A and B are shown apart, each in its own frame.
Chain A
Amino acid sequence: MTRTIAVCLTALSMFAAAPVVQAQTIYPLTRAEILAGSKFDFKVEFPASPPEADVTVTINGQPPGAVLGGQSRYSANEDGMDHGALWIKGAIIPTPGVYTVQATAAGKTAEVRWEVFGTPARRAKNVILFIGDGMSVAHRTAARIMSKGIVEGRYGGELAIDDMPHMALVSTSGTDSVVTDSANAMTAYTTGHKSCVNALGVYCARNKASLDHPKVETIAELVKRKNGMAVGVVTNTEIEDATPAGMVAHTRRRADFNDIVKMFLDAAPEVMMGGGSPNFLPKSTNGSKRTDGEDYIAKFTAAGYRFVSTATDMKSAAAEPGAAKLLGLFNTENIDGALDRLVLKKGSVGRFPDQPELADQVRVAIELLTKSPNGFVLMVESGRIDKYTHTMDPERAIFDTIMLDEAVKVAKAFAEKANDTLVIVVPDHAHSVAIIGTQDDDLPGQTPREKLGIYEKSAFPRYPRAEGSAYPSSVDVPRRIAFAFGSYPDHCENGKPYLDDPNVPAVAGEAKGTFIANEKYCDRPGAVRITGNLPASAPQAVHAADDVVLTAMGPGAELFRGRIDNTRVFRVMATALGLAPP
């Protein structure tokens, strides 16, 4: 199914909302931290389309080409619009330092300042970056309660994600808004540049086409180009979704899924695993979401990838002698969450009974990537922590937090062998969630508020342990974590877990672009109707601007401390890998 219509509408609304540009805009924006030797597109936009002769741009007093390499190119009416644009694509600044850029036209001068940073010599052979998408402190605490148990205020064990020597608070806001999304947030981690909502690996300029915005190089591209390293991208979401796409993509629109599949092929990560197969299938294939006849499974196979679609095949492919490159697509959409796969057998588990556990994906990825003599960068995402939190489905979100922890265990066991691997666990943004007590079936009444135990009545929840498993064997217990959402659409709830299919709190309403409570849940015993606190246009709970908690171990991890901007995660990885050595 094509997304052409969505593309047109989004493009229109994007430009309708664009602010009137009063002064020149210089990309990268001011206070950018740029890795010495990394590639980026330099662009200056001039309002009112001055002729080239009236435009002056300098970097530390020199012509831009002398500093960035290459020749600048000017267009007085870019994309037929009323602004001029000066570009140097694929610019590189090899020498660290402070760079001041001035752009003058019609008597007005705009100025930005960049910090170009170098790195010491390489200390880490490998980097494993875990993203808990939307993972907030409440997810972490709830996962610890559910997985380890809590008695008299003491936990029955530590989560692997907690038991790390270094920690920092990470701020996630982008260049355009205090609350960000996964595309923009991932761009900060993979490029060191902050961008705007929906953007991957680009600054958000005034260009009409989503693929024309000023690009910045990603960690995957950098480590291949500079160090000849291998790259892995492992997720349980669709592989073209924002977080995995952030490793390779350059687009103003995260929904350019078909373009993103091509960007994956061009960037050629040695290991790619996730869901989202329809964007790999030619449109002639029933079930395709492409708008062209390209068969990307065939293209990846021709490029030397082994293609697998089940967990069983994934494991056996890794064991094959000579196996090096793997494309694993395990669902047409997202891989089902751990609660559906392991306990409830709901969601799409009936259609896709042999989907992998994230820890097994990581085990296979490491097995393949360690064949690279030059080390590797592996990104691993537990992506449905976010998606299930959007849909207000606490038990599924908490199970997928435990799933992340299980995957981190595998990486830690690998990293501890040689102590040459930097392991980072970080959310990309927060949700407004909190544990406010326990939902207790033994309390009198019917409705969730009557059955909510607060303060001294929030007796410790009990989830049955499954022998040899980090997951409880059931979430349908009489005393449960009361997981509250700070943002919500109109919806009905009864304080019980969603034991059938995943929760869908709101559905499209009669008024265009509005969402109303999904009546399916309004008749459940004890259900109450809640009026949303979000704009009626929001169908789900939304992200929050709260800082998120990063933990890390291995060479370079000591650089994480205090509060940092999300761009610092890139800088620490680049530093540990020595991507701009003296």
Chain B
Amino acid sequence: MTGVLTRRLLLALPLLPGAARAGDAAGITFDGLYESFGVTGLVFAARLKALAGSPVAITGFLAPPLKAESRFFVLTREPLAICPFCQSDADWPLDIVVVTLRRAASMPPAGARLMVTGRLGLGGWTDPETGFVSQIRITDAQLARA
């Protein structure tokens, strides 16, 4: 079941011209996103800032998606024990990465460990479709099972 979904997903995502290729991408990690993490705000790590706009690759866990067919999902450090989309009082962790695929695709099951490759975007941005505000994004993304 899982394998079928993954293949469908990858089939739905042909490598497009301009999309980042895994081979060119600089590896980043959830532990390396911030150089300080305080009550009055977070500060991006210098290496992350230097990579803004460049192809990067990161491994994390797929949060329960908003809908099955989507181009937008949230990648988390650990598998989510809560479902912010399903529970009224559940909340997102601060250190998440928002991933936008080139076009809508069937999502792998929630909890899947994924390597996401794409272009790194930093700074506050509101998704016009969903209203979701994010600080770290990977756009034009492609996925692989990690």
Contacts and interface: CB of A to CB of B under 8 A. Distances in A.
Contact of B124 (A242, A283, A332, A507): A283
Assign chain B's interface to a size class. 35 or more
A255 B41 contact: no
A331 B131 contact: no
B85 A9 contact: yes
Nearest to B131: A4
Contacts, number: 135
Contacts of B88: 6, 10, 198, 253-255
Contact of B83 (A287, A288, A505, A513): A513
Interface string A321-346: 00000000111110000000000000
Given A1-B92, A286-B44, A518 B81 contact: yes
B80 interface: yes
Contacts of B110: 508-510, 512
A561 interface: no
A44 interface: no
Contacts of A254: 88-89
Contact of A2 (B64, B81, B131): B131
Contacts of B85: 5-6, 9
Given A6-B90, A254-B88, A286-B42, A510 B66 contact: no
Given A6-B84, A254-B89, A283-B133, A508 B124 contact: no
A102 B37 CA distance: 57
Contact of B109 (A283, A330, A510): A510
A18 to B, nearest CB: 15
Interface residues of A, number: 52
A278 interface: yes
A297 B38 CA distance: 14
Contact of A1 (B40, B64, B87, B134): B134
Contacts of A284: 124
Name the residue among B40, B80, B83 with the largest chain A CB count within 10 angstroms: B40
A75 interface: no
A507 B79 contact: yes
A509 B86 contact: no
B42 A287 contact: yes
Contacts of B78: 504, 507
Name the residue among A242, A285, A510, A537 with the largest chain B CB count within 10 angstroms: A510
A1 B123 CA distance: 12
B43 interface: yes
Contact of A3 (B39, B44, B91): B91
Contacts of B16: none
A286 B37 CA distance: 10
Given A9-B86, A254-B88, A512-B110, A288 B40 contact: no
Contacts of B37: 287, 332, 351
Given A4-B132, A6-B84, A507-B111, A309 B79 contact: no
Interface in B89-130: 89-92, 94, 96, 109-112, 123-124, 126, 130
A330 B66 CA distance: 32
A255 B41 CA distance: 21
17 contacts: A1-B135, A2-B126, A2-B131, A3-B84, A5-B66, A198-B89, A253-B88, A257-B91, A281-B40, A288-B133, A309-B40, A331-B39, A352-B39, A504-B78, A505-B81, A509-B110, A540-B81
Given A257-B91, A504-B81, A507-B111, 8 more contacts: A1-B92, A2-B132, A255-B90, A286-B124, A287-B41, A510-B2, A510-B111, A512-B110
A-B interface, 7 closest residue pairs, ranked by CB to CB distance from nearest: A510-B109, A507-B79, A4-B131, A287-B42, A309-B39, A508-B110, A287-B41
Interface of B: 1-2, 37-44, 63-64, 66, 68, 78-92, 94, 96, 109-112, 123-124, 126, 130-135
